[in-house]
Structure 1
C-alpha cells in the first residue's frame, strides 16, 4: 500500500514537472517576452474574472494584497492591465485586461492546448478517463489545503 507521504511526493513532483515543462514550451511557442509566473497567474485570474478587485485577486492567488498591488502596477505599466475605480467604492479598483493581454493569453492557451492537449489525445482511453476523473478530487484537495491555511488546526471551533 502506498503511504500518504509517497502520494504527496509523487503528486507534487508530477504537477511541478508538468507545470515547468508546459511553461517553458509555451513560452518558446509564443513570440513575446516571458512574464514572471506571478504576473502570468494574475492575468489568468483577471481573464477568468473580469472586473475582479485587488483583494479578491490576492485571495484567488493566495498572495498578500500588497504583493498583488505591486503586480498590478507592473502589469499596468506594461500595458497588459487596466485598473479602473470601482463605481460602488472609489477607493477600490476593478481590474480588466487590455487587448494586448487578451491576445497574449489567447496565444498562451493555444500553445498550452497544443502541447498538453495533443499529449492527452494520444493517451489511452483509460488514462484519459482516469485523468478526467481525478480533476474533481484534485480541486477538492486544493480547496481543503486553502481552508486549512485559512483556519489552521487547533484554532477556531
Structure 2
C-alpha cells in the first residue's frame, strides 16, 4: 500500500501573494538586527559572504563564488574588505598551502550574537501580541519557511562541511 501526499491546489494569485509577502518580509527585515544592535550596516555583498562563511566555516573564495553565483575576483575583494574590518580570518589549508580557508573572526561572532539576540527579543515581543492560534500557525510554519530558504542552495549547490561545493540537500 503506497502513501501519496495530496498536493495543494494553488492559484497563480496564491503563489504571487506568498512570493510578494516573503520578498517584502526579507527586504523589510534585512537590516533590522544591525540597526537594533547599533552595528554599522554592511553592503549586501559583504553580508552575503559573511553569511556563507558562517554557514560553511572553512570554505574558500572559490566555494563562496560558486555558492553565490559571483565572480571569484569580486568575492576576493569582498573577503579582503571583511578581513580589514576584522570580521573574517583566513587560515592556510594544511592539505594545500596555496589555498586559504575562511572563518568568522571572534568580532564577527560577537556581532552575530548581538543580531541574534535583537531578533529573538523582537520576535518574542511580536509573538506575545498574537493570539494562541496565530502563534501556533507561525511555529508550525517555521520548518516550511526553512525549506523555502533553501531555494538559493538548490540552484547553486550547498557548500559541504569540508568547504567544498556539492549539490546536497542535507539541511
Classify the TM-score, shorter chain: 0.7 to 0.9
1:145 Cα deviation (Å)? 6.8
1:135 aligns with 2:142: yes
Picking from 123, 128, 136, the partner of 2:130 is 123
Give the secondary structure class of the aligned counterpart of 1:92. Answer: strand
The answer as to 2:95 corresponding to 1:83 is no
Q: 1:63 aligned to 2:105?
A: no
1:50–1:96 contact (8 Å) kept in structure 2 = yes
How far did 1:34 drift? Answer: 0.8
After TM superposition, list the pairs within 5 Å mapping 1:1-157 onto structure 2.
Answer: 3=11, 5-60=12-67, 62-66=68-72, 67-143=74-150, 147=154, 149=155
Aligned counterparts of 2:108 and 2:150: Cα–Cα separation in 1? 28
Question: Could you list the per-position Cα deviations for residues 59-92 of structure 1 after superposition, in whole angstroms to 9, with x for gaps in the alignment?
Answer: 44x3225243332122112211011221112232
Structure 2: which 5+ residue stretches go unaligned?
Answer: 1-8, 157-171
Q: Is the 8 A contact 1:82 1:96 kept in 2?
A: yes
Provide the rounded CA distance (Å) in 2 between the counterparts of 1:144 and 1:31: 30
Greater relative contact order (CA < 8 Å, ≥ 6 in sequence): 2
Stretches of structure 1 that go unaligned for 5 or more consecutive residues are 151-157
In structure 2, the residue matched to 1:155 is none
Task: Give the secondary-structure state (helix, strand or coil) at the position aligned to 2:20.
Answer: helix
Q: TM-score, normalised by structure 2?
A: 0.69
* Partners of 1:76 and 1:145 in 2: CA distance: 25
**Cα root mean square deviation, aligned:** 2.8
Which has a greater percent of helix? 1
Q: Secondary structure at the match of 2:103?
A: strand
Please list the CA deviations of residues 114-133 of structure 1 after superposition, one character each: whole Å capped at 9, or x if unmatched.
22332134333333333333
The answer to whether the 8 Å contact 1:120/1:128 transfers is yes
- TM-score under structure 1 normalisation? 0.74
Corresponding residue for 1:153? none
> Hey, what's the Cα distance between the residues in 2 that align with 1:53 and 1:140?
25
